[in-house]
Amino acid sequence: MTYLTTTDGVEIFFKDWGPKDAQPIVFHHGWPLSADDWDTQMLYFLAKGYRVVAHDRRGHGRSSQIDSGHDMDHYAADASAVVEHLDLRNAVHIGHSTGGGEVARYVAKFGQPQGRVAKAALVSAVPPLMLQTEANPGGTPLDVFDGLRTALANSRAGFFLDLASGPFYGFNRPTETVSDGVIRNWWRQGMMGSALAHYEGIKAFSETDQTEDLKTITVPTLVMQGDDDQIVPYADASLRQIKLLQNGTLKIYPGFPHGMLTTHADVINPDLLAFIES
């Protein structure tokens, strides 16, 4: 397996497939998953001739279960360490959910000043701010996130099974076909990681205000989200993202769930390809 070590001693696992002289696509996974959540997309774009890269966030998957740095700044810095280690240039960065926040912080803070980023895509992403505040009255109340923390602390295995079986993929909707394999794979990825990283990650994805990150991004950015996203409400996410981005394109998918990358890969992958090749 391939790893790099960050400046603060964290071992970050990463995948790097495809021709090393091809345009790279870098995938940033959501909470509480791993690089494996992108396998369908990585195989799809590999077959199209791209170099595909994905890493496990610190505390997630096969990366170190360290007890510090579970915040958006460290997430972005770790992503930058992967990019620097592989010397990726002209890359397209695609982030799902919390990974979308990671992409926004990375591109704003590390990618654009170095000219390493060609485009970005935010998929069912958490920016600009999930938490309900006086300045963000349409956000999600704090007690919802406190409930997530309590459920995780009381029974992480049961909590993760409930999420994967229900709202994450929309399997609680009568229109969705439930996939036991998808549920098991989500649970497998989640349970590989650190309970502490997942617990502290809830604060990172819900309370990090990324308004300025979005305003700073100048590269073409595709915003994609389903209007039946039960995890990240689209009205407070993608509809606000597109107003803050300087060069954004918005695609809303009727009836699609939070985990649409998996349940509707046949639609999402070609749309991502069309954006990358435009």
Catalytic center residues: 97, 229, 258
* Total residues found in the chain within this entry: 278
* Cα–Cα distance measured from residue 40 to residue 263, given in angstroms and rounded to the nearest whole number: 11
**What phi and psi, each to the nearest 5 degrees, are found at residue 152?**
-65, -45
Q: Sign of torsion, CA 40 45 47 50?
A: negative
* Cα–Cα distance measured from residue 183 to residue 170, given in angstroms and rounded to the nearest whole number: 11
Q: Please identify which residue in the block is written with the tokens 């996203």.
A: 229
CB 53 within 8 A of CB 278: no
